[in-house]
Amino acid sequence: MDWSPKLDLPYILSGQAQKHVTHNEAISLIDCLVQMTVKSADTATQPEYVSEGDMYILPDQITGSKWEHMSPASLAVYTGGAWKEIIPKIGWICAVVDTSSLLMFSSEGWQSVEHNSAGLGSAAYKDIGISGDTIPKLDMPAAWSADHSFEGYRNVSFLTGNSKGIVSGRYNIDSTASDHFTLSCNYDLGQNTSVHSLLGSAMLEICATNGADGFIGFWAGGPASTPQRRVAVNSQALFPVSDGQYNLGQPAYRYQDIYSVNGVSMTSDAREKTDLVKLTPEERRSIAQIMTEVGSFSWLKDVESVGEEAAQIHIGVTAQNVAKAFINEGLDPQDYALWQEDVFENGETRMGLRPVQLLLMSMGTLFQEIEELKQRNQQV
């Protein structure tokens, strides 16, 4: 074998004359191919003014007295006062100066390392390091703002500064696709520290303001509109960030059981209500009808799951009977918050009750009638 298998460097043969010629030729090739750098990969015209060591990747339709005899995709290097053609091998990687990019040679020619690296993408050669601050962080160049693809994911990019106006931070990972994922971080401890994770139209935020009132926030909203924080968690509570605007659960996505030490606490401040009005005779008569319907039942889903004998027995009334009792007295059940009917996206409906209000209405009816009986007895 007269040539090395990877770089095609000439070997010095036994008994060879002028060994220094072969040796110097190999050194010249090594100088070109190790830490391989070309000035351009799209210059088609042989340059008139060159320096020793200048090298180009030849594109299609090349021109020039020397280049036109070379093959597209080969390397043209100016060495020893003349142009020399080097045929690349599969797997060679070359830095292109005028585009600040990396190319890899494959059976399909020269292509970006991002295309050939099976998922490593631009992260394989971007400047990622650890700065010397107390808290380590990624040290990414400010100009790194292009989108880069990773195997199994698409449009994953690294951005600095503001990311879609969502958060002001130093380092952000952002996606511009419809299935958004965003991670933003500002590690100046004197400012806000935030991490966002956005999937579709929901986003998770972890934030510590001045290291004091930290919270985890769940956001809603898409990239077309600025996401709004809906729910937050701090050291004391899980709470909505706007008073009286959001529901816990949805008609089609209900909780099975809610466990708590204390009962449900509801606002009952007189300053937030209209004046109380006693129940009308129609309302009291409707409650009388509803209470006669109280009975025991089991949920059909429980019967299907564990059987009728094993299904737990519940006590209550049906929303349909409540609506019927109101209608019988000329009342509209939809006027009362104790009764509700939810409509799903597919047009189906589900009726429901607020048991506390129904119970208070029943108790109010009972005590008002007892009070009226007392007054009549006193008159007698």
Q: How much of the chain, in percent, has pLDDT values that exceed 90?
A: 34
Which of 346 and 327 is assigned the larger pLDDT?
327
Residue 51, pLDDT > 60, answer yes
Query: Which tens digit of pLDDT belongs to each residue from 222-240?
Result: 444 455 667 777 777 888 8
Contact indicator for 3, 63 with CB cutoff of 8 Å? no
Buried b or exposed e, range 213-236, using 16+ CB within 10 angstroms: eebebbbebebeeebebbbbeeee
Question: What pLDDT was estimated at residue 74?
Answer: 93
Taking residues 102-108, report their average pLDDT: 90
Residue 308, pLDDT > 90, answer yes
The tokens for 113 are 């390392």
How far is it, in rounded angstroms, from Cα 31 to Cα 9?
A: 11
| Long-range Cβ contact pairs of 110-118 (< 8 A, separation 24 or more) | 110/41, 110/57, 110/73, 114/148, 114/149, 118/151
Alpha carbon of residue 344 to chain centroid: 27
SS (H, E, C) 63-86: ECCCHHHCCCCCEEEEECCEEEEE
Q: List 40's β-bridge partners, or say none.
A: 56
Which of 174 and 321 is assigned the larger pLDDT?
321
**What is the pLDDT of the chain when averaged over all its residues?**
73
Q: Which one, of 31, 77, 24, 80, lies nearest residue 54 by Cα? A: 77
Which of 180 and 310 is assigned the larger pLDDT?
310
Cα angle, residue 238 at apex, residues 233 and 243 outer, rounded to 5°: 105
> Is the pTM for the entire model greater than 0.85?
no
How far is it, in rounded angstroms, from Cα 122 to Cα 48?
A: 34
The residues, ordered by sequence, that sit 6+ positions from 107 with a Cβ below 8 Å of its Cβ are: 90
> DSSP per residue over 200-211, as a string?
TTEEEEEEEETT
For the domain bounded by 271-379, which CATH number is listed?
A: 1.10.10.10
Residue 352, pLDDT > 60, answer yes
Contact indicator for 11, 4 with CB cutoff of 8 Å? yes
Question: What pLDDT was estimated at residue 238?
Answer: 82
Query: Which residue type sits at 60?
Result: D
Residue 325, pLDDT > 70, answer yes
Question: What pLDDT was estimated at residue 187?
Answer: 37
Which of 156 and 217 is assigned the larger pLDDT?
217
Would you list the domain boundaries of the chain? 35-116, 128-240, 271-379
How far is it, in rounded angstroms, from Cα 361 to Cα 279?
A: 8
Contact indicator for 56, 66 with CB cutoff of 8 Å? no
Max distance between CA atoms of the chain, in angstroms, equals 142
Q: Coil, strand or helix: which one is 301? A: helix
Alpha carbon of residue 75 to chain centroid: 43
How far is it, in rounded angstroms, from Cα 168 to Cα 161?
A: 6
CB atoms within 10 A of CB 332: 10
pLDDT band at 365 (very low <50, low <70, confident <90, very high): very high
Residue 315 burial (CB < 10 Å; 0-12/13-18/19+)? exposed
Residue 72, pLDDT > 80, answer yes
Residue 38, pLDDT > 80, answer yes
How far is it, in rounded angstroms, from Cα 171 to Cα 174?
A: 10
Least confident of 73-87, 206-220, 286-300: 206-220
How far is it, in rounded angstroms, from Cα 97 to Cα 228?
A: 44
pLDDT band at 241 (very low <50, low <70, confident <90, very high): confident
Most confident of 13-22, 130-139, 157-166, 243-252: 243-252
Residue 325 burial (CB < 10 Å; 0-12/13-18/19+)? buried
Question: What pLDDT was estimated at residue 366?
Answer: 93
Q: List 163's β-bridge partners, or say none.
A: 167
How far is it, in rounded angstroms, from Cα 376 to Cα 380?
A: 6
Q: List 86's β-bridge partners, or say none.
A: 75
- How long is the chain? 380
Taking residues 55-81, report their average pLDDT: 91
Taking residues 89-93, report their average pLDDT: 87
Question: What pLDDT was estimated at residue 27?
Answer: 65
Question: What pLDDT was estimated at residue 34?
Answer: 74
Phi, psi of 200, deg, nearest 5? 65, -120
How far is it, in rounded angstroms, from Cα 211 to Cα 214?
A: 7
How far is it, in rounded angstroms, from Cα 46 to Cα 33?
A: 20
Query: Which tens digit of pLDDT belongs to each residue from 117-160?
Result: 444 334 433 444 434 443 333 444 444 444 433 333 333 334 43
Taking residues 88-96, report their average pLDDT: 88
